[in-house]
A and B are shown apart, each in its own frame.
Chain A
Amino acid sequence: ETGVTQTPRHLVMGMTNKKSLKCEQHLGHNAMYWYKQSAKKPLELMFVYNFKEQTENNSVPSRFSPECPNSSHLFLHLHTLQPEDSALYLCASSQDRRLSYTFGSGTRLTVV
């Protein structure tokens, strides 16, 4: 495995479900990020973790709950989502917040 791996690739969930997105990076980076990409909108930063500590929470609703148990793994726990939360969720990592990002392939989420 190389790079940044996200699972699952696709997810369909009901508004009352609870699910989790997983991101794993094999690059030895110490910063990890969650981004949301909706149709016709720029990428939106959701959360930043630096050395496992959350350093940014970009006014994300509490129905999205991140978890970073170590510098290689990042989760996004989802519960009671809304249809407008349907989007591509991208994970990224970098060696330092100042340096270039490596993105995963994303999880395409559909809330029904």
Chain B
Amino acid sequence: GIQVEQSPPDLILQEGANSTLRCNFSDSVNNLQWFHQNPWGQLINLFYIPSGTKQNGRLSATTVATERYSLLYISSSQTTDSGVYFCAVSSGGSYIPTFGRGTSLIVHP
């Protein structure tokens, strides 16, 4: 099956800093989603982005499908951005996403 690698595995920021999270995948994709899991376990869908660029407030994401990666940008980070960010992709005839291991983000005040 498709392989998904996320980097960095851990990230510590000061409030107000910017960051870029990366998701590499091993095959062409028909679906790519970014999620944020808060400290209480809730997974929130941030972007559905199999290709192109999207922005939502301080967050934006870009997927370059031909080069098999996606980036999640967080600008002016806040403490509420803390949690784990997951990339999930699916490929071929299967639309069931495979999740990466996530990037654990801690934003200090």
Contacts and interface: CB of A to CB of B under 8 A. Distances in A.
Secondary structure dominating the interface of A:
loop
B45 A100 contact: yes
A76 interface: no
Contacts, number: 47
B42 A103 contact: yes
B96 A48 contact: yes
Interface residues of B, number: 21
Contact of B30 (A43, A98, A103): A98
Interface of B: 30-31, 33, 35, 40-45, 48, 86, 88, 95-102
A103 B48 CA distance: 14
Interface string A68-112: 000000000000000000001010100011111111111010000
